């Protein structure tokens, strides 16, 4: 069965995951992380994509982004992928693919799920046992969202801006969201939506996305693939 095209309506955030092929490392040093961040910022600006949250892990990346046009995220990821693979292969004297096929993505209900998805992304290094607090990990957006650090890559979403009147108030309110643990049902919901390319949101949001996309937002699947959930953090 042919794959349905991605859902990518303008102005609707997307949670994006790109993994290294066969879970192999796609970053080997801080220089690699910095190069990826630089090209991501450049490609996002050129493609018309606002980046709200990110985390770069050793063998995969998570992004939360809002496109200005329907195909902007795909354009950004294709250009970014080509540039980074050329750099990585040259740096490590290797050839061949680096990424595991197409990136995975899902559209996100900004009103109800955007900040939850940001927490999920920024807590990846904590769940992986790499740090005890998200602020201790340098290659994520937590320091921008939670500590107010400047980052060229960062464009705060309106849902974040509504957390407070001043930058300090917004950062403090955002940090407070991390006081509790994300429960297993929330983790499973985000992973399922992203891995299957379906909506992360309530029924009203799904209906709206289907209207904009003019196709089902939650395609039916059967067999083992429908039940499979690939954990990522």
Q: What is the pLDDT of residue 181?
A: 84
Which residue(s) pair with 16 in the sheet?
Answer: 63, 105
What span, in angstroms and rounded, lies between the C-alpha atoms of 209 and 181? 29
Q: What's the first-to-final CA gap in the chain, in angstroms?
A: 30
Contact by Cβ (8 Å): 89, 2: no
Q: How far apart are CA 60 and CA 100, in angstroms?
A: 10
The reported pLDDT for the residue numbered 198 is: 87
**Encoding tokens for residue 156?**
């705060």
Evaluate whether 116 touches 190 at the Cβ level (below 8 Å): yes
Mean pLDDT to the nearest integer, 9-19: 94
| φ, ψ (nearest 5 deg) of residue 173 | -65, -35
Burial of residue 223 (number of CB atoms within 10 Å: 0-12, 13-18, 19+): exposed
In this model, does residue 43 exceed pLDDT 70? yes
30: helix, strand or coil: helix
203-231 tens-digit pLDDT: 899 888 888 766 666 654 444 444 444 55
Q: What is the pTM of this model?
A: 0.90
Count Cα neighbours of 199 within 13 Å in the Cβ-side half-sphere.
24
List domains and CATH numbers for the chain.
14-209 (3.30.70.1290)
Predicted pLDDT at 3: 55
Distances (CA, A) of 223 to 106, 160, 170, 196, 232: 21, 39, 44, 13, 22
For residues 197 and 124, what is the distance between their CA atoms, to the nearest angstrom? 20
61-120 pLDDT per residue, tens:
999 999 999 899 999 999 999 999 999 999 999 998 999 988 999 999 999 999 999 999
How many Cβ atoms are within 10 Å of 60's Cβ, its own excluded?
A: 23
Q: How many CA atoms lie within 13 A of 149 on its CB side?
A: 12
């Amino acid at each position: 069965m042919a794959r349905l095209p991605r859902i990518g309506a303008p102005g609707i955030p997307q949670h994006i995951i790109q993994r290294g092929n066969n879970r192999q490392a796609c970053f080997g040093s801080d220089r690699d992380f910095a190069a990826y961040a630089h090209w991501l910022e450049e490609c996002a600006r050129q493609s018309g994509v606002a980046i709200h949250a990110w985390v770069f892990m050793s063998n995969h990346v998570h992004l939360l982004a809002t496109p200005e046009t329907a195909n902007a995220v795909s354009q950004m990821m294709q250009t970014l992928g080509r540039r980074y693979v050329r750099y990585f292969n040259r740096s490590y004297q290797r050839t061949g693919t680096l990424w595991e096929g197409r990136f995975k993505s899902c559209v996100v209900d900004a009103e109800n799920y955007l900040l939850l998805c940001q927490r999920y992304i920024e807590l990846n290094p904590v769940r992986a046992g790499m740090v005890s607090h998200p602020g201790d990990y340098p290659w994520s957006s937590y320091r921008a969202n939670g500590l107010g650090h400047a980052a060229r890559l960062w464009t705060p979403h309106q849902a974040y801006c509504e957390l407070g009147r001043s930058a300090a108030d917004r950062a403090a309110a955002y940090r407070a969201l991390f006081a509790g643990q994300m429960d297993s049902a929330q983790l499973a919901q985000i992973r399922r939506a992203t891995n299957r390319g379906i909506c992360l949101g309530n029924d009203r949001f799904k209906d709206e996305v289907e209207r904009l996309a003019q196709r089902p937002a939650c395609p039916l699947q059967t067999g083992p693939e429908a039940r499979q959930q690939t954990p990522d953090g």
